[in-house]
Every structure is written in structure tokens, then in C-alpha cells.
Amino acid sequence: MKKLLLAAAAIAFAFPALAADLEVSGAFIRASPKVANSGAGFVTIKNTGKQDDKLVAASANVSKSVELHTHIKDGEIMRMRKVESIAVPAGGTAELKPGGDHIMFIDLNAPLKEGDKVDVTLSFEKGGQVKVSVPVVGIGAMAAPMGMDPNQHMQHMQQMPNNMKH
């Protein structure tokens, strides 16, 4: 019986979170050093639809604020900047990854510890909201952990119409 329940759970978690024509996968958040007051999260968003969409916000209860960020090159220094949205083109993919677009968790309530999970709600201009239970991985991680289905911690929510500086 236990094996049957585990198999059913594995099948249920094998599919990415969906909001309209959007698929969210590969989500992870880097653990934070004890002295850090911010953390970064990453995810891949695939738009299988025929309309462009935008990620317009993210929210979580692990920090006082959550912002969408990108990196810009300022001379020889890469700087993070807040952006109002991240485009998810029709038939395309938006990759929020280290060194590029990402989600910033600012003024953390407590350090982000490897092995924890953070509930994050992604809000899209047209696609509504998707709730994602995101694993916290090692401080320098560049991707979701190997051997773990990156989609296993996601669920659908109700749809609605070292030289980096801030």
C-alpha cells in the first residue's frame, strides 16, 4: 500500500504548475548566509499559448518584500536592478537564472536554510497566479538539485483574469 501511495504521489508531482498557457518548472532559491538580509530565487516559465504574457509580481512570507530583478552591466560591474515585469513571450520561455533575471527576497525574516521549502506565489498579467513550493538549495547553486524532479514542489492555484551591487 505504501509503494502504491508513493507511486501515485510521484505521478501527481511529475507535471509542472500551470496557469492558463504557462508552465512553471525548475524553481529553486539559494540558501543565505546567516548575515545576509536578502536571497535570490530562480525559475523557468514556458508560455505555450499564442499571447505574450508577463510575470508582474512574486510574493512570499519569508521576507518583508519580494521584487523582480535583472542584472545590468555598469562599466566592469554587474548591478542588480528592480524591474516592473519580466516578459514571457508567446511560444517562448523566460528563464530566471543566476546572473540574469531573478526574484529577490529582501529583508529576510530568517536565513534561508538548505533543505527548506518556501511557498512563492507568481502573478502574471494575463495568466493569473501560480503557487510554487520552492526548495532552498546550497548558497552557490546554479540550478535545481540533480536527481530531483524540479516540478515536484509545484501546485496550481486559482487562476485570475561577487561584484554585484544594488
pLDDT digits (tens, 9 = 90+) for 60-117: 999 999 999 998 888 888 888 999 999 999 999 999 999 899 999 999 999 999 999 9
For domain 2-159, give the CATH number.
2.60.40.1890
- Report residue 163's pLDDT band, with 50, 70 and 90 as the boundaries: very low
E strand residue ranges, 31-159: 38-47, 53-60, 63-74, 77-83, 86-88, 93-96, 102-108, 117-124, 128-137, 154-156
Quote the radius of gyration of the chain (alpha carbons, Å): 16
Residue 5 has pLDDT above 50, yes or no: no
104 secondary structure, DSSP code: E
- Name, in order, each residue with C-beta under 8 angstroms of 65's C-beta and a sequence gap of 6 or more: 106, 107
Domain ranges of the chain: 2-159
